[in-house]
Amino acid sequence: MPELITTPDGLRILVEELPHTYSVSVGCFVAAGARHEPDPQGGAAHFIEHMLFKGTERYPSARHISHAVEGVGGLLNASTAYESTVYYAKVATLHVDRALDVLSEMIRRPLFDLQELEKERRVIIEEIRGLQDTPGDWVHELLQQAMWAGSPLGRDIAGNVETVSALGREDLASFWQRHYHRANLVVSVAGKISLAEAHDAVRAAFDGLPAGAPTPPQPRPVPRPGPRLTLLGRDTEQGNFCLGLPGLPYSDPDRRPLQVLDSILGGGMSSRLFQLLREEHGLAYSIGSYHNDLSDAGMWVIYGSVEPEALRDAVALCMEILRDLARDGVTPDELAMVKEQVKGGLLLSLEDTWSVASRNGTHLLRYGHVAPVEQVIAEVEAVTAADVQRVARRLLRNEALHLAVIGPYDREDHEELQTLIATGLTHP
């Protein structure tokens, strides 16, 4: 288990000693993301993530920052989500002080240089446009926008061309000042380092970071009702679709049954989706499912890419599988196999120092503590077939269903698909 130390000035430091490894991973978890932006400033959190790599007081350029970590064989990266932003480095143990120095400089002293800002603005706009050139990825964003329209969750994390074009240095600096402080920060360390060494090094690196106040809770998002079809006609070689439903928050008591249910539905080659659509009918190369969870909402998604003329059959089969899950539940063999799959995947993921540091930091931000791996395994093991069916019936509702499609389709296809999903999930 990791050790949690909260310094007198409020900085939370998590340390998990892994003496069998040769590396140390450090993650800076900031409790602010795309959900905390005003609508006109959509994309600010993601823009800031980019800018923190473009220069600090002591590392004045992107080259200086990357060379400091990659020059000693390390890895440096970041990601922005709706409720958090994470910056992390993984280095050999003897370079941990350097990794901490770079990360703390990025968090505490970014330059937001105007010339670099304009260059990065162009890069982000190309990133947004690149997504629209990749329909298999874009269809996920289309579903997100349709289901959560009118909420920050309905915006792309990167923003759009209009909002990114309008963001100025003051907008970014203001967001950074409001959210990048001790009350919003967790520093998670895992690897070949002692608790005392890590504690002293982190405290020294982040000395002087403002105290701040935690980001307040956001208004709870309300998904748009369904059944609803969002179809974007494009001259593509495949029909790309996402079938989505509102899911569960990450603290919901049914989160483990949903985890098991999602694995049975679309978790790998033994899942129902893969076996029926790919192996039995040969309709899709790419088919699967996932669940995204937030503090007060979630989204459960089936996705696939098929030959254009196979779209209707593929969607119909997906809904048939969902109806079967709600009506008949899961078999004992399925339940036993998926439990082992979930448990094994969790254990295998913890063989890497960054995976451990990431899990610990994410848990502390979400739950205020780090759940022991043994507890998670016990929770998965306790899931029953009745639990899985109850969650399926709870979530699989026609009035919540959304279908997003990108492909070479017209008004007639739109009407046919709308009719298909209108009563597709009805179950007794």
Per DSSP, the three-state class of 423 is coil
Percent of all residues in the chain with a pLDDT value above 90, rounded to a whole number: 93
- CATH number, domain of 57, equals 3.30.830.10
Residue type, 387: D
Chain segment 83-101, per-residue pLDDT in tens: 999 999 999 999 999 999 9
For residue 299, the SS3 value is strand
In total, how many domains does the chain have?
2
Tell me: do 257 and 376 sit in the same domain.
yes
Residue 210 is assigned to a structural domain of this protein: no
254, 359: one domain:
yes
Mean pLDDT on 90-116: 97
- Residue 414, both tokens: 């739109």
Classified as helix, coil or strand, 28 is: strand
Q: Is residue 219 assigned to a domain?
A: no
pLDDT at position 1, please? 83
Q: Which pLDDT tens digit goes with each residue over 300-338?
A: 999 999 999 999 999 999 999 999 999 999 999 999 999
Q: What percent of the chain has pLDDT over 70?
A: 99
Looking at the fold, whether 108 and 147 belong to one and the same domain comes out as yes
Can you say how many angstroms the Cα of residue 311 is from the centroid of all Cα atoms in its chain?
Answer: 27
Q: Is residue 221 part of a domain?
A: no
pLDDT digits (tens, 9 = 90+) for 13-35: 999 999 999 999 999 999 999 99
Is the pLDDT confidence value at 69 over 60? yes
Alpha-carbon gap, residue 399 to 423, rounded angstroms: 9
Query: Which runs of E-coded beta strand occur in 73-150?
Result: 75-80, 85-92
Q: What is the pLDDT of residue 268?
A: 86
Catalytic residue positions, numbered: 49
SS3 (DSSP) at 307: coil
Q: Are residues 244 and 162 in the same domain?
A: no
Averaged confidence pLDDT in the chain:
95
For residue 424, the model assigns a pLDDT of 78
Domain with 416 in it: 228-422
Sign of the Cα torsion 425, 400, 33, 188 reads negative
How confident is the model at residue 426, as a pLDDT?
A: 65
pLDDT above 80 for 428: no
User: Is pLDDT of 427 > 60?
Assistant: no
State mean pLDDT over 111-116: 97
Residue 130 lies in a domain: yes
What is the arithmetic mean of pLDDT over 370-392? Answer: 95
Query: What is the average per-residue pLDDT within 53-64?
Result: 97
pLDDT tens-digit readout, 333-380: 999 999 999 899 888 988 899 999 999 999 999 999 999 999 999 999
For 136-171, b/e burial (b = at least 16 CB within 10 A) is bebbbbbbbbbbbeebbbbbbbbbeeebbeebeeeb
Query: Would 26 be classed as within a structural domain?
Result: yes
- Give the pLDDT confidence of 214-256 residue by residue, as tens digits: 988 899 999 999 999 999 999 999 999 999 999 999 999 999 9
SS3 for 143? helix
Residues 200 and 235 in one domain: no
